[in-house]
Structure 1
Amino acid sequence: MGGKGAGDVIRRDRAAVPSTSRRVAALDGLRGLVIVSVVVNHAVGVLWTRGPIYDVPIVNGLLGGGAVIVFFVVGGFIVTDGLLRERERGTFDPWRFYLRRLVRVGGQVVAVCVVVGIALRLDPEVPDGADIPTNVLHALTYTFNLLVSTDPFAVQPEFGHLWYLGVQQQCYLILPLLLVVLGRWRPVLVALLVALMVAVYIHRQDVLDERGWVVASSLTTTRSDGLLWGVALAVALPWLSRWRAWGHVLWISALVLLALKLALPELSTYAYLRSWSIPFTLVAGIVVVAVWLLPAPTRVSRALEWAPLRRLGRASLAIFVWHLPIFVIVSRHTESWSWIERTFVSVVILIVVVWASERWIDEPIRRLLATRSVFRMSREQLP
């Protein structure tokens, strides 16, 4: 009877949460803001060099790193919430989860590996010693972060950003197992996740001091704290949903998150990896939960639901996967161009490629995942 009562509480809390479509729309908008920040940050040093404008604190913060932490938090939260819903319905299947993750992300990864791999083979400007097969193999197996940490000189810059997908997919190998073992003991699971977050942060400081920021930025054991925080918040959602003042929390936490993002480059070197990563990660999670549990729309949530931001968020996977190889290849062949010309051409190509990949890769995959029983999943889990 006690287990059934707990389940009833969770279901009542779920029923009190507003519509899924509006929640996901706002989080799509948040992802849209993040992908813009990530793309602009990667343009620095590829399409243009650092100049006097980076001496302006606010501008430096806008163009600096750290935004990918929000991706980790949002992804961990949404995926875990979907898995917990399946567990409550009795349809939870770890193997099906693994399969649909491979299909969902793999479509874009396979495409970029094929296209960029061929382009590099045909490009006379690529050094003869470039180990393209190794880069492609690590990208396809979601172990690129291991290549970055063990042999950074072998990394082709066109694939360098795929460390993120390595960290994400490696964490998602373990997540279903945690839910199978500890899913019915949520307080224990939350405590374990928080302990793992602390361990990841401490380990990152050691790696940062001993092996440098490249390795500290790419290992699963040093960068998974944001994803773990998203998972912990999803597990704790039944208790968090009992509080109704999330409208006030949202605008305050969103303002704090923006202030931290703008201030990070001024606080310390690699602040997004050091102690300032703690409040940034925690506040990012509060923003996500506040959006998810809003009892009614607010100005902040409506701003996040702005159509262009939502479109960017829906296409964030395609944008993330394709933007860096396009930037690097264009830059390699336009050394005599101005940064404005180089940027314009790169953005136009990126728009065309993302549109094509969304139409012929992402949309068919979404339909496949939504209609075939072998991939059956809740809409909340669709990125």
Structure 2
Amino acid sequence: MSAAPIAYRHELDGLRAIAVLAVLGYHAGYNDVAGGFIGVDVFLVLSGYLITQQIMIGLDAGGFAPLRFWLRRARRLLPAMVPVLAFALVAALILKGDGAFADFAGHFLSAGFFYSNYQFASEAGYFARASDTNLLLHTWSLSLEWQFYLIMPPLLMILHRFGRDATILGLIAISAASLAYSEILIRAGNANWAFYATPPRFWEFAAGGVVALLPRLALPFAGPLLRGAGLALIFWMILAYAGGPFPGLGAGLPVLGTLIILIAPESPRDPLRLMLSWRWMQWVGQRSYAIYLIHWPLMVAITPSEMNQSEGILTVAIPVSILLGHLIYRFAETPVRTGSGFRESRAILRHGTLTLAVIAAIGLALPTAAVLALREALPLSTTRATITQIDRARADYLDLQDRISAGDMPNARYCSFDDIASTDAMLACLTDPTTPEDTVLLIGDSHGRDVLAAMLMAYPGQHVTMLHQSSCVPATYIRGRSLCFDALDRIIETLAARGALPPVILAARWWQGEHENVSATLATLDAVDADTLVIGPGPTFASPMETHATEAGFAGTTLRALAPLGPESFAFDIAATSADLAARAASRGAEFLDRYAMVCTGGACPVFDGATGPILYFDEQHLSPAGLAWFAAMLEDTELSAFLER
């Protein structure tokens, strides 16, 4: 028994157009669309609405076949994905260093087989590669969609046995549980899992499914009001987003706005419905999938090492993305969707299996020696060699930091608020009875941890205990929505009262403005008569080394030829911050080591160790292992040496 077709709602193409244009504007860096990323949430709700309708019509008619459904969904998703994967592959071959290219091989496979959301969730972290260098990052949402396609048929088949009302209640309960799970993850600090994984995102699909099963309101006059309210919620989120936890309840406004539009009555004379049905919006909406697929790798390819949030070159990418999306729609999507050779399940299975086999073969071949040799003959080989050097420095640095975090470094004890939740537990870590008497206490962020690594190289007999928290100046204050160095003053006072406070070194990135928070810590240290040394900021560049190397390559030169880098390349005024920090230290009787003056001559900061030596930084701020050794050699015969010899 054949199922009745779903009535086509042209206004939903208009809603798709709004969603995809919002995403494009957001990724182009327009400040006016700071919440444009919620276009994806609109897509998720629409998908839940349409797919639930499709499955339920088949179930009601007694003719729903899950395998046929999955094959038709594959026919919908795969054709447009193929040219996008090909484009990303060419870009990766030319632009990526060996390390990033090896990562791309995994991304290629996970995108092609629709599990990239979990791949990217597993790669998230403080030192993860910048997300705007990942050519296939946007495919997480397509993977989420495919996983929804896999889950929804058996779920609805079970619920359908108990009747339509039970199905609605079941979807509401599942949606509520999914939303609650998302909130739990966010509050527990697992926002990446809440963002990428299917269970905490399923509520957005399920909410659309609930509306698909409810009758549309039969009050024509309510149409303009409901569509107006729904669009207002969506545009409010797009235009007035001010940050906050996301998704979870943070996605509530765009989800609610989309649901309101979906349940609104037809109202033929509704001007908003007519607007959403404008021809150009229909045109964009019908191509929205292909436009979404191609826009991100295009934007990454033209800004391969750092997607600067600007309205310059990325603005050009918007019309180009729309044009390329049209070509993909015209020559990949449409022929497969409407062609007679792709209608039967066997044909879809045969072509789909062949496509996936080719994707698998390419993905598995990418890390091989033959492909790496092929890359040597491609343009920008010198630039790729520099980026590969940066990649290796990054990998070596992460290995070193893992050893520090695991407590595998001789003479070092590591206590981090990243892992320790309470003040009492931190005090227990800092006062371990096996700690030697000649230890010093180093307090700081990842830059402080770099100082720790350099100290262990420069003074191998010195014992150091580190009190660490990522991205935080050593003081108790709120950074964004996080609490930095919880109760640090009380920790210092408690250690002093127990006679267990050793000489203290403060070292951090000292981001301009945030460095002022250290005054409170310096006052506490002064009050307990602690010997204190403040190590000032080293260079923090506005862009990572990979960006500088790529820009040099496009300009026909090399990063080594452009180095050293001066204040015009800095993220903030390091000299002014260093001077202010020195004055704050002096006002509290603390000593000061001017790291900036030590490593940079006349404001010019070397990027390589000599004319032929290794690179000193692997990103925009952290020293590579070679850079740490270079810095360690400079620490001898400085204020630090005299401080440690007391």
Bucket of the pairwise TM-score, normalised by the shorter protein: 0.7 to 0.9
CA distance in 2, matches of 1:231, 1:369: 31
CA distance in 2, matches of 1:73, 1:274: 14
> Residues 276 and 138 from structure 1, CA distance in 2 versus in 1: closer, same or farther, beyond 3 angstroms?
closer
CA distance in 2, matches of 1:259, 1:175: 27
Query: 1:27-106, aligned counterparts within 5 Å?
Result: 27-44=12-29, 54=31, 59-60=32-33, 63-106=35-78
1:201 aligns with 2:179: yes
Query: 1:99-178, aligned counterparts within 5 Å?
Result: 99-123=71-95, 126-130=96-100, 131-152=103-124, 153=128, 157-178=134-155
Given the alignment, which residue of 191, 199, 203 partners 1:213? 191
Deviation, structure 1 residue 248? 1.2
Q: Secondary structure at the match of 2:158?
A: helix
Contact 2:26-2:33 within 8 A present in 1 as well: no
Matched length: 337
Q: Secondary structure at the match of 1:262?
A: helix
Q: Letter of the aligned partner of 2:318 in structure 1?
A: V
CA distance in 1, matches of 2:175, 2:326: 37
Q: Letter of the aligned partner of 1:360 in structure 2?
A: F
Deviation, structure 1 residue 331? 1.8
Q: Secondary structure at the match of 1:211?
A: coil
Contact 1:99-1:375 within 8 A present in 2 as well: no
Q: Letter of the aligned partner of 1:288 in structure 2?
A: L
More deviation in 155-164 or 355-364? 155-164
Given the alignment, which residue of 181, 203, 207 partners 2:158? 181
- 2:330 is matched with which residue? 359
From the CA coordinates, give the structure whose radius of gyration is larger. 2
Deviation, structure 1 residue 285? 1.0
Contact 1:143-1:163 within 8 A present in 2 as well: yes
Q: Letter of the aligned partner of 2:191 in structure 1?
A: W
Contact 1:265-1:271 within 8 A present in 2 as well: no
1:318 aligns with 2:305: no
> Residues 338 and 40 from structure 1, CA distance in 2 versus in 1: closer, same or farther, beyond 3 angstroms?
closer
Deviation, structure 1 residue 274? 4.5
Deviation, structure 1 residue 142? 0.9
1:283 aligns with 2:268: no
Q: Secondary structure at the match of 1:66?
A: helix
CA distance in 1, matches of 2:204, 2:99: 36
Higher normalized strand content (fraction of residues): 2
1:270 aligns with 2:244: yes
CA distance in 1, matches of 2:241, 2:287: 32
How many percent identity over aligned positions?
22
Contact 1:94-1:176 within 8 A present in 2 as well: yes
Given the alignment, which residue of 170, 178, 184 partners 1:192? 170
Contact 1:200-1:222 within 8 A present in 2 as well: yes
Q: Secondary structure at the match of 1:220?
A: coil
Q: Secondary structure at the match of 1:244?
A: coil
Given the alignment, which residue of 214, 218, 228 partners 1:254? 228
- 1:226 is matched with which residue? 204
Contact 2:81-2:112 within 8 A present in 1 as well: yes
Deviation, structure 1 residue 111? 2.2
- Structure 2 residues without counterparts, runs of 5 or longer: 348-646
> Residues 108 and 270 from structure 1, CA distance in 2 versus in 1: closer, same or farther, beyond 3 angstroms?
farther
Higher normalized helix content (fraction of residues): 1
RMSD: 3.0
- 1:3 is matched with which residue? none
Q: For residues 103-157 of structure 1, what are the alpha-carbon distances to aligned partners after superposition, in whole Å with 9 as ceiling and x for unaligned?
A: 210111222112211321122xx22201121001110111111011111337752
Deviation, structure 1 residue 372? 2.2
> Residues 254 and 295 from structure 1, CA distance in 2 versus in 1: closer, same or farther, beyond 3 angstroms?
closer
CA distance in 2, matches of 1:353, 1:287: 30
> Residues 78 and 260 from structure 1, CA distance in 2 versus in 1: closer, same or farther, beyond 3 angstroms?
closer
Deviation, structure 1 residue 226? 1.3
Structure with more relative contact order (C-alpha pairs < 8 Å, separation 6 or more): 1
CA distance in 1, matches of 2:46, 2:149: 14
Contact 2:230-2:256 within 8 A present in 1 as well: no
- 2:556 is matched with which residue? none
Query: 1:311-350, aligned counterparts within 5 Å?
Result: 311-332=283-304, 339-350=310-321
Q: For residues 208-241 of structure 1, what are the alpha-carbon distances to aligned partners after superposition, in whole Å with 9 as ceiling and x for unaligned?
A: 23335333211111222111111112123xxx24
CA distance in 1, matches of 2:323, 2:238: 33
- 1:304 is matched with which residue? 276
- Structure 1 residues without counterparts, runs of 5 or longer: 1-10, 49-53, 377-383
Query: 1:237-252, aligned counterparts within 5 Å?
Result: 240-241=215-216, 243-252=217-226
> Residues 173 and 88 from structure 1, CA distance in 2 versus in 1: closer, same or farther, beyond 3 angstroms?
same
Contact 2:80-2:328 within 8 A present in 1 as well: yes
More deviation in 316-325 or 202-211? 202-211
Q: Letter of the aligned partner of 1:108 in structure 2?
A: A
- 1:20 is matched with which residue? 7
CA distance in 2, matches of 1:369, 1:219: 36
Q: Secondary structure at the match of 2:179?
A: helix
Q: Letter of the aligned partner of 1:20 in structure 2?
A: A
